[in-house]
């Protein structure tokens, strides 16, 4: 695996997650040995979900333009 930032070598690393929950949780992630960029599989998943959610919101907005003048 190559770093998205600097194309450097990435190695598996143990990451501790203290933001997602009150209980610290260890997980496997990727860390770039060149620039220190960390790729967290859970964060990547969240970003994908957020992008999908934002896309759905935009679709919903454009699908209901007629309701604005009803009230
Ligand atoms: Zn890097």
pLDDT tens digit string along 11-47?
A: 998 877 666 667 777 778 899 999 999 887 777 677 7
Read off the pLDDT band of 69 (50, 70, 90).
low
Distance of alpha carbon 71 from alpha carbon 61, whole angstroms: 17
Asked if pLDDT for residue 3 goes beyond 80, the answer is yes
**Gap from CA of 57 to ligand 1 centroid (Å):** 33
**Gap from CA of 1 to ligand 1 centroid (Å):** 11
Q: Contacts by 44-52 with C-beta closer than 8 Å and gap 24+? A: none
**Gap from CA of 24 to ligand 1 centroid (Å):** 26
């Amino acid at each position: 695996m190559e770093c998205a930032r600097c194309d450097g070598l990435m190695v598996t690393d143990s990451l501790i997650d203290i933001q997602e929950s009150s209980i610290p949780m260890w997980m496997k992630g990727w860390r770039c040995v060149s620039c220190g960029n960390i790729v967290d599989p859970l964060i990547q998943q969240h970003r994908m979900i957020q992008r999908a959610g934002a896309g759905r919101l935009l679709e919903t907005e454009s699908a209901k333009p007629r309701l604005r003048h009803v009230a």
